[in-house]
Amino acid sequence: MKAAILEQPGKFSVNSLPIPPCEPDEILIKSKICGICTSELDMWEGKAVGLEFPRFIGHEVGGIVEAVGTKVKNFQPGDHVAVWADGKGYAEYLAIKGEYAYKLLDETPFEYALGEPIACSTNGVRKADPQLNDSVAIVGCGFMGLIMLQILKVRGVGKIIAVDSRSSALTLASELGATDTINPKEKDVKREIQSLTNGVGVDIGIEAAGNQRTLDLVTDLVRMEGKLEVFGFHQGQPRTVNWGYWNWMAFQIINGHVRSPRIYVEGMNIGLKLLESGKLKMDKLVTDKFTLDEINKGFEAASAKREGFVKGVIVL
Pairing assessment for the beta strands 60-68 and 288-291 based on DSSP bridges = unpaired
The Cα–Cα gap between 230 and 253 comes to 8
Which helix (H) or strand (E) segment is 5 a member of? strand 2-8
pLDDT at 50: 83
pLDDT at 235: 82
pLDDT at 153: 98
Cβ 205 vs Cβ 228: under 8 Å: yes
The mean predicted confidence, pLDDT, of the chain is 96
Collapsing DSSP to helix, strand or coil, 248 comes out as helix
| 226-247 tens-digit pLDDT | 999 999 998 878 999 999 999 9
pLDDT at 33: 98
Any bridge partners for residue 180, and if so which? 161
pLDDT at 236: 79
| 128-151 tens-digit pLDDT | 999 999 999 999 999 999 999 999
Is the alpha carbon torsion for 267, 78, 61, 53 positive or negative? Answer: positive
- Reported residue count of the chain is 316
Tally the C-alpha atoms within 13 A of residue 1's C-alpha that lie toward its C-beta. Answer: 21
Residues of the chain with pLDDT under 70: none
The Cα–Cα gap between 120 and 91 comes to 22
pLDDT at 296: 98
To the nearest 10°, the Cα dihedral for 209, 210, 213, 219? 90
| 179-200 tens-digit pLDDT | 999 999 999 999 999 999 999 9
pLDDT at 264: 95
The Cα–Cα gap between 20 and 264 comes to 24
The Cα–Cα gap between 176 and 273 comes to 18
pLDDT at 48: 79
pLDDT at 237: 84
Structural domains of the chain, with CATH: 2-114+286-315 (3.90.180.10), 127-255 (3.40.50.720)
